[in-house]
């Protein structure tokens, strides 16, 4: 497919479990972003990858959250010891060029529910 894909589309887990969320960006896009969206709300920036540069992790809410991007393509967001407040939609976006003024293409998101 030509767009950003994310998996799983839905994830239900128990409090205290670890989860991994996957993002496949658009081929050739050098920038990749993770956001969190609470029910019907705006997006909260989590982390940003650009090429081979060190990622900007300034939006990660706690050290339970981490992300990596292998080979400059696929990215995985990991949440350890999940808490109920982690329940949200996790959105991934990619863009061809760096900079917030450049178009970010979003995936459909992963809906995470922590029981």
Smallest distance, Å, CB 15 to other proteins? 25
**Binding span for other proteins by CB under 8 A among 13-21, 38-46, 67-75, 76-84:** 38-46
The DSSP call for residue 36 is: E
Give 5 or 80: the residue with its C-beta nearer to other proteins: 5
103 binds other proteins (CB under 8 A): yes
Q: Which of 2, 40, 63, 70 binds other proteins (CB under 8 A)?
A: 40
Contact 113, 102 (CB under 8 A): no
Cα–Cα separations (whole angstroms), residue 80 to 16, 32, 52, 65, 97: 7, 21, 25, 7, 31
Contacts of 108 by beta carbon, 8 Å cutoff, 6+ apart? 5, 6, 9
By CB under 8 A, residue 74 contacts other proteins: no
The span from the first CA to the last CA of the chain, in angstroms, equals 33
Which of 19, 79, 91, 112 forms a contact with other proteins (CB under 8 A)?
91
Q: Which stretch binds other proteins (CB under 8 A): 13-21, 64-72, 76-84, 97-105?
A: 97-105
């Amino acid at each position: 497919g030509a767009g950003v894909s994310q998996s799983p589309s839905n994830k239900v887990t128990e409090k205290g479990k670890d989860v991994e969320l996957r993002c496949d960006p658009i081929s050739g896009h050098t920038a990749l972003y993770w956001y969190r969206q609470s029910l019907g709300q705006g997006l909260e920036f989590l982390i940003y990858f650009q090429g081979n540069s060190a990622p900007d992790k300034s939006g990660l809410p706690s050290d339970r959250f981490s992300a990596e991007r292998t080979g400059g393509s696929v990215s995985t967001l990991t949440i350890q010891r999940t808490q109920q407040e982690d329940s949200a939609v996790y959105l991934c976006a990619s863009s061809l060029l760096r900079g917030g003024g450049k178009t970010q293409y979003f995936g459909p998101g992963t809906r995470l529910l922590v029981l």
